[in-house]
């Protein structure tokens, strides 16, 4: 499976009863661009009340998704993590940077969740940065019911 960043626009009835075109961004776990578009269409069709459009799909440069156990965690943060590696030949320190998507209620909660997850590993690492995203949700692959 791969992760895709998908942007959509759809008509939604807002609080005052008017219909407004809403742009949203999602991360979809899928095998292909086609499957990502199909899955986001099924997912968002429930919330839309009219016209629906997928405006962009691209492969996400995310190596891992860390979901929160906190039901109130409604924000997604991109964290850049530098893993510290010692080169066997030169014996010099190198950094391998990866981007992870972390769910949390705040930057501090996301950082705590990230640190908890990374602390179970054996290597050294540094959180190079963490920023809030516009991602509404991560749509994970679910095996069909039989």
Could you tell me if 70 and 46 lie in one domain?
A: no
Span of 73-82, 105-114, 134-143 with lowest mean pLDDT? 134-143
CATH code, domain with 26: 3.10.20
Handedness of CA 107, 40, 54, 14 (dihedral sign): negative
Q: Mind listing the pLDDT tens digit for each residue in 27-72?
A: 999 999 999 999 999 988 887 777 889 999 999 999 999 999 899 9
Could you tell me if 72 and 103 lie in one domain?
A: yes
Angle, alpha carbons 47-61-132 (nearest 5°): 60
Query: In terms of residue numbers, what domain contains 28?
Result: 2-60
pLDDT, the chain, mean: 91
Could you tell me if 87 and 121 lie in one domain?
A: yes
Report the number of distinct structural domains present in the chain.
Answer: 2
**pTM for this entry:** 0.87
Strands 93-104 and 64-66: parallel
pLDDT band with cut points at 50, 70 and 90 for residue 146: low
3-state secondary structure of 143: coil
Could you tell me if 55 and 78 lie in one domain?
A: no
Could you tell me if 51 and 87 lie in one domain?
A: no
Could you tell me if 52 and 75 lie in one domain?
A: no
Please check the confidence at residue 80 and state whether its pLDDT lies above 70: yes
Is 38 contained in some domain? yes
Q: Mind listing the pLDDT tens digit for each residue in 113-129?
A: 999 999 988 889 999 99
Q: Which of 11, 30, 63, 57 is nearest to 139 (CA)?
A: 30
Q: How distant, in Å, are the alpha carbons of 11, 14, 21, 41 from that of 18?
A: 10, 6, 10, 22
Last residue of one domain, picked from the residues 60, 80, 97: 60
Last residue of one domain, picked from the residues 60, 77, 95: 60
Residues 79-91 have a mean pLDDT of 90
């Amino acid at each position: 499976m791969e992760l895709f960043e998908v942007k959509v626009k759809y008509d939604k009835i807002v609080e005052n009863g008017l219909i407004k075109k809403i742009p949203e961004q999602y991360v979809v776990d899928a095998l292909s661009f086609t499957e990502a578009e199909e899955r986001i269409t099924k997912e968002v069709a429930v919330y839309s009340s009219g016209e629906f459009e997928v405006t962009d799909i691209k492969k996400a440069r995310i190596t891992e998704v860390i979901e929160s156990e906190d039901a109130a965690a409604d924000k997604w943060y991109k964290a850049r993590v530098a893993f510290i590696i010692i080169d066997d030949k030169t014996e010099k320190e190198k950094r391998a940077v990866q981007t992870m998507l972390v769910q949390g209620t705040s930057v501090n909660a996301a950082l705590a969740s990230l640190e908890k997850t990374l602390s179970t590993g054996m290597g050294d690492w540094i959180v190079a940065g963490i920023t809030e995203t516009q991602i509404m949700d991560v749509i994970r692959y679910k095996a069909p019911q039989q």
